[in-house]
Amino acid sequence: MDLQNAFQNLNWLAIIVAAVSAFALGGLWYSPLLFSKRWMKETGITEEQTKNANMGRIFGLAFLLSFIAAFFLAMFIGKDAGAFAGTMAGFMAGLGWVFTFMGISYLFESRTLGHFLINSLYSVASLTIMGLIIGAWQ
């Protein structure tokens, strides 16, 4: 891979939008509409703990990490992928790498299947959507 050309051909707006999509999906995924109550039960985190957390720091770093993930996914996908290839690349990265390695960690940490599925499937969904955005936005 020619990294200089790959870096120059990045669509930075697509990367930013992809990062925002993962951040927005996380807001929905871990909200009362979907999995917040189950996630809190699985992690042992209480509502009081969430109210006392430094949410500016958490959200800021979460967005930064989403941006980094979108950047590397864009480097992986390349400039001529298209929507389908981008979507499949994101899905395969999520399922093939993130899901499996989180599974290994969760096994050794004796975490519950529910906790694993909530967190790992968020990653799969986020990377799939990011791949679609990056692949389609050529």
3-state DSSP: the chain helix, strand, coil percent, rounded to 5?
Answer: 80, 0, 20
What is the Cα–Cα distance from 67 to 52, expressed in whole angstroms?
26
pLDDT of the chain along its 138 residues, tens only? Answer: 567 677 778 999 999 999 999 999 999 999 999 999 999 999 999 989 988 999 999 999 999 999 999 999 999 998 889 999 999 999 999 999 999 999 999 999 999 999 999 999 999 999 999 999 999 997
Contact 77, 127 (CB under 8 A): no
Number of domains the chain is built from: 1
Q: Is the pTM of this model over 0.85?
A: yes
CA-CA distance, 66 to 76, in Å (whole number)?
15
Q: Whole domain around residue 89: which residue ranges?
A: 3-136
